Amino acid sequence: AQTVTQSQPEMSVQEAETVTLSCTYDTSESDYYLFWYKQPPSRQMILVIRQEAYKQQNATENRFSVNFQKAAKSFSLKISDSQLGDAAMYFCAYRIADPGNQFYFGTGTSLTVIP
């Protein structure tokens, strides 16, 4: 069974500082994709970053980067130079690399950015 675990229900970070959100997953598949989504108070989920499991290089999108450890089944999100607009619920998600397959979501981490 595919499961996604986010062990940090809440995190806080000082503005301009760096924060890391953790995510682990369980799967027997070898080919899959991993995602981080941001859900601001307006409630629409927005893609932050994604990683193909076959790629060894960690994905980076501006201030957002991941630490993908395939053997450990770990996929953490690092937010550098945190901004007030980064405050949101962050969901880690996993999908098998078959067409049209569903996402499995973690329970989310609520990030507070302190001015």
Partner 1 sequence: EPEVTQTPSHQVTQMGQEVILRCVPISNHLYFYWYRQILGQKVEFLVSFYNNEISEKSEIFDDQFSVERPDGSNFTLKIRSTKLEDSAMYFCASSEVGGVETQYFGPGTRLLVL
Spatial CB neighbours of 44, under 8 Å, sequence gap ≥ 6:
none
- Which of 25, 36, 37, 94 is close enough to bind partner 1 by CB under 8 A? 37
Extract the tokens encoding 107.
């329970």
The least distance separating partner 1 from the CB of residue 33, rounded to whole angstroms, comes to 5
**What is the SS3 assignment for 113?**
strand
- The single residue among 26, 31, 52, 81 that binds partner 1, judged by CB under 8 A, is 52
Of residues 55 and 63, the one with the C-beta less far from partner 1? 55
Among 86, 106, 111, 113, the residue binding partner 1 under the rule CB under 8 A is: 106
Separation between Cα atoms, residue 113 and residue 41, nearest integer Å: 14
Report the alpha-carbon distance of residue 92 to residue 113 in Å, rounded: 19
- Helix/strand/coil (H, E, C) string of 1-62? CCEEECCCCEEEEECCCCEEECCEEECCCCCEEEEEEEECCCCCCEEEEEEECCCCCCCEEC
25 vs 37, which CB is nearer to partner 1? Answer: 37
Nearer to partner 1, 2 or 74 (CB): 2
Q: Which of 31, 107, 112, 114 binds partner 1 (CB under 8 A)?
A: 107
Q: Which of residues 58-87 bind partner 1 (CB under 8 A)?
A: none
Interacting residues toward partner 1 by CB under 8 A: 33, 35, 37, 42-47, 50, 52, 91, 95, 99-108
